[in-house]
Structure 1
Amino acid sequence: MNITDHGPDAGRSPAPLAGIRVLDLSKILAGPYATMSLADLGADVTKIEHPDGGDPTRSWGPPFVGADATYYLAVNRGKKSVTVDLKSEEGRRIIHEMLAETDVVVENFKPGSGLQKIFDYAELSEQYPHLIVLHISAFGEDGPLRDEPGYDMIAQAAGGLMSLTGEPGGAPMKAGFAMGDLGAALFGLVGLLAALVERARTGRGQYVTTSLFECQLALHVNWATNYFATGQRPQAMGSAHPNLAPYQAFPASDGHFVVAVGNDTLWAALCTAIGRDDLTDDPRFRHNRDRVENHTLLEEELAAAFATGTVEQWCDTLTAHSVPVSPIRHLDEIYADPHTQALGMIRTVPHPTVGPLNQIAFPVSFAGRRPSMTSAPPVLGADTDEVLARHRAPAAT
């Protein structure tokens, strides 16, 4: 059964960022995911959208739930939606009034665009020295690509992820998740939280920047150090690992499952589990170094063994021998899994027009409690009148 969050105090979950006001001038995925995370942590987030259609992801469907695409619904809960034309004189006046009482701004204005010039941080910081601005771009603040626009797939291609994803010798593939956008969202979130901590010491805000491209490089991790050590261009390896073996998917008689052997003790346990103790001390496979160097031979030996049983049989057998193993599950199976339910990772919030709306919860708990979802993703402009009532221009006299 899903857990239902009914409001700001539902379940008395912690709100570490209570009192922090966020102005979300971003759109698509990276910025909105970061600001949704801030909302989950208790911040008061106001999403500014253009009156003509709002965030483009509202139309990124099907599927749709009500008027909005599920893509939009995935990353905008917990926010107010206010429609303002940022390029109009009145819109700029309203935003500046809001900035005076805002702690954090998140934006992904296109480099060199009119909006980036209108809301230039150097000028903003003179008027609002307390303000923290997170700017998310495609390629960063410097370099020959700095002014180029980009979407997630562009980042995955330009940043190397697609060259490492797929079967050896096969066509390049993007990752199943939007790792370009999501990586930038998470690193941007880290930067914002660090800037809030520093502002608590100094009283001054700052300009925080990250990009999809930079975050892709940061996530290379061992791929980068492998290359720096060897000078050899990394290639896609399917599900295999460049530094561990066996650490990949294998076919059983009725499907695939994954095995993750992280040390020689687990290797010995695996050999016992499959009835091949002779492989334990085979000089080709004795140590991880040997298994990585003889990866193709190792895969052939194990594939032949695993073809004799089903996924369920091998998962049960390997688990009994304490070897890390898992079937490759589909999302519907994961959402129905008792473990997912026990963790409270699926929550339901009431949407004003479509009723109960399932959402994936924030994946961090505080003192054993998960932050509440304060509200469903807002209908376009739902909070415009309420919020702008405080910022209307005075009537002419």
Structure 2
Amino acid sequence: MFALDDLVVLDLSHALAGPFASTMLGDYGAEVVKIEPFAGEISRSWGPPFYGHESAYFVNLNRNKKSVALDLKHPEGKRTFLRLAERADVVLENMRVGTVAKLGIDYGAVRTVQPRIIFCSISGFGQDGPYRDRAALDLIVQAESGMISVTGDPGSHGVRAGVSIADLTAGMYAAFGIMAALHARQKTGRGQFLDVSMLEGQLGILSGMIGAYFADGVVPQPMGTAYGMLLPYQTFHTRTRDIAIGVGSDKLWKTFCPLIGLPQLTDDPRYATNAQRNTNRLSLIAALQEAFLTRTYEEWEAILLPAGVPMGAINRIDHVVEHPQVAARGALVECEHPVAGQIRMVGPPVRMSETPGGVRRPAPLVGEHTESVLREMLGMKDDEIARLRQSGAIG
């Protein structure tokens, strides 16, 4: 039994934000039917790396889905989609604003055949406003939202986050919104339209910085690995490799100082409270850096961990996938793909005691499940499927 195994999701999305949302739902049992053009959605060509002709990007992102190749511009293709929507709980799309309306498969059209539908549209800037028609990829939204302006080394112009955080955040908000709407439907019996913008997703995770700006009028700047609200809370060089340190309270500060050989800083009026440490940030960081250079990372780990000081190593990806905690948690799972063969990937991250998620099937080939979905969901016979294929409505 899976938590969402009674849900059917029609996934019209491509690239990352939408597919990430549908993968979250699929990981916990939802039947996700990915509607694709005959050539496949755009991320199938994103690479390298590739597994043969399949991009690793697509293969790792789109597990637990079926693929139906459908021409939505074809009258029979549109009609077939709406028939599928009659039997669905969720429609998810991230096309350019207005595209689904032009195709005749927007919320209004789908709601006519399925009043209980949850229709989720993800876009760069939302369904209204002066930026609604702008094309948006993750980089653009990171830039417009202010995310780039606060990311990077001090004094820099800012850098893109190391992952596509605007896409991923929008995908998470979309999955959360879908689940909230499904819960509401249990009470009202009605579906609803969800408008998820990548821009507002970034504002959501920047809310602390935006709130601080409203409070003091100081424009946040890139701080490297440091954090404006707390310190010490950043990385330092040791005699071997860098160490990440987080001192989250004044109580922990009093424990921390003697451990690093600086007991005199414990009650120093310049550093006794977090606010005072912030005021005197430059002199404090210089003193701490000098102290950390006296020992190796391993020596500091032996001193700080037993005392409960949050600390860690800066691991590369090749280290992370062999990390003992990752192994102990079984966070990486294996899956057999028809082209890629046996592959490893990150498993569903939320552990549920009664209805755990899992990787039930690999990412689909283009149109791999067209016939089986039409048979199972619509009860189509071979002759009707053959007629649709002959007409060019299905791939």
TM-score between the two structures when normalised by the length of structure 1:
0.93
Query: Of the candidates 233, 237, 244, which is equivalent to residue 251 of structure 1?
Result: 237
Q: Find the counterpart in structure 2 of residue 224 from structure 1.
A: 210
1:385 CA displacement: 2.0
1:179-190 equivalent positions in 2, closer than 5 A: 179-190=165-176
Alpha-carbon distance in structure 1 between the residues aligned to 2:224 and 2:354: 37
Q: Find the counterpart in structure 2 of residue 170 from structure 1.
A: 156
1:76-91 equivalent positions in 2, closer than 5 A: 76-91=62-77
- Whether the 8 Å CA contact 1:315–1:327 is kept in 2: the answer is no
- Aligned residue for 2:32, secondary structure, equals strand
Q: Find the counterpart in structure 1 of residue 228 from structure 2.
A: 242
Residue 111 (str. 1) matches residue 97 (str. 2) = yes
1:6-155 equivalent positions in 2, closer than 5 A: 14-52=1-39, 54-113=40-99, 117-155=103-141
Matched residue type, 2:199: F
Alpha-carbon distance in structure 1 between the residues aligned to 2:78 and 2:103: 12
Alpha-carbon distance in structure 2 between the residues aligned to 1:287 and 1:368: 45
Give the percent of matched residue pairs that are identical in Structure 1 and Structure 2: 38
Alpha-carbon distance in structure 2 between the residues aligned to 1:94 and 1:231: 55
Q: Find the counterpart in structure 1 of residue 392 from structure 2.
A: none
- Whether the 8 Å CA contact 1:49–1:84 is kept in 2: the answer is yes
- Whether the 8 Å CA contact 2:2–2:355 is kept in 1: the answer is no
Alpha-carbon distance in structure 2 between the residues aligned to 1:276 and 1:301: 9
Alpha-carbon distance in structure 1 between the residues aligned to 2:218 and 2:344: 46
Two-structure CA RMSD over aligned residues (Å): 1.7
Matched residue type, 1:23: L
- Aligned residue for 2:303, secondary structure, equals helix
Alpha-carbon distance in structure 1 between the residues aligned to 2:386 and 2:86: 17
- 1:280-299 CA-to-partner distances (Å, cap 9, x unmatched) read 01111001111111111110
Alpha-carbon distance in structure 2 between the residues aligned to 1:188 and 1:244: 31
- Whether the 8 Å CA contact 1:135–1:209 is kept in 2: the answer is yes
Alpha-carbon distance in structure 2 between the residues aligned to 1:373 and 1:72: 15
The 3 A distance-change label for structure 1 pair 305 and 116 is farther
Q: How many residues align?
A: 382
Matched residue type, 2:76: E
Residue 158 (str. 1) matches residue 144 (str. 2) = yes
The 3 A distance-change label for structure 1 pair 292 and 116 is farther
Query: Of the candidates 277, 287, 303, which is equivalent to residue 317 of structure 1?
Result: 303
Alpha-carbon distance in structure 1 between the residues aligned to 2:235 and 2:261: 19
Alpha-carbon distance in structure 2 between the residues aligned to 1:344 and 1:203: 39
1:349 CA displacement: 1.3
Alpha-carbon distance in structure 1 between the residues aligned to 2:200 and 2:313: 33
Matched residue type, 1:86: L
1:229-378 equivalent positions in 2, closer than 5 A: 229-367=215-353, 370-378=356-364
- Whether the 8 Å CA contact 1:246–1:299 is kept in 2: the answer is yes
The 3 A distance-change label for structure 1 pair 359 and 115 is farther
- Whether the 8 Å CA contact 2:54–2:340 is kept in 1: the answer is no
Alpha-carbon distance in structure 1 between the residues aligned to 2:356 and 2:86: 31
- Aligned residue for 1:133, secondary structure, equals strand
- Whether the 8 Å CA contact 2:54–2:339 is kept in 1: the answer is no
The 3 A distance-change label for structure 1 pair 375 and 226 is same
More deviation in 177-186 or 308-317? 308-317
1:162 CA displacement: 0.5
- 1:101-153 CA-to-partner distances (Å, cap 9, x unmatched) read 01101001201336655222123212210111110000012221111110111
Q: Find the counterpart in structure 1 of residue 189 from structure 2.
A: 203
The 3 A distance-change label for structure 1 pair 116 and 276 is farther
Matched residue type, 1:344: G
- Whether the 8 Å CA contact 2:72–2:103 is kept in 1: the answer is no
Matched residue type, 2:205: L
- 1:218-239 CA-to-partner distances (Å, cap 9, x unmatched) read 1113111110101111111111
The 3 A distance-change label for structure 1 pair 394 and 378 is closer
Alpha-carbon distance in structure 2 between the residues aligned to 1:395 and 1:247: 64
- Whether the 8 Å CA contact 1:109–1:116 is kept in 2: the answer is no
Alpha-carbon distance in structure 2 between the residues aligned to 1:116 and 1:187: 26
1:255 CA displacement: 2.5
- Whether the 8 Å CA contact 2:139–2:160 is kept in 1: the answer is yes
- Aligned residue for 2:251, secondary structure, equals helix
- Whether the 8 Å CA contact 1:269–1:322 is kept in 2: the answer is no
- Whether the 8 Å CA contact 1:345–1:361 is kept in 2: the answer is yes
Alpha-carbon distance in structure 2 between the residues aligned to 1:321 and 1:195: 45
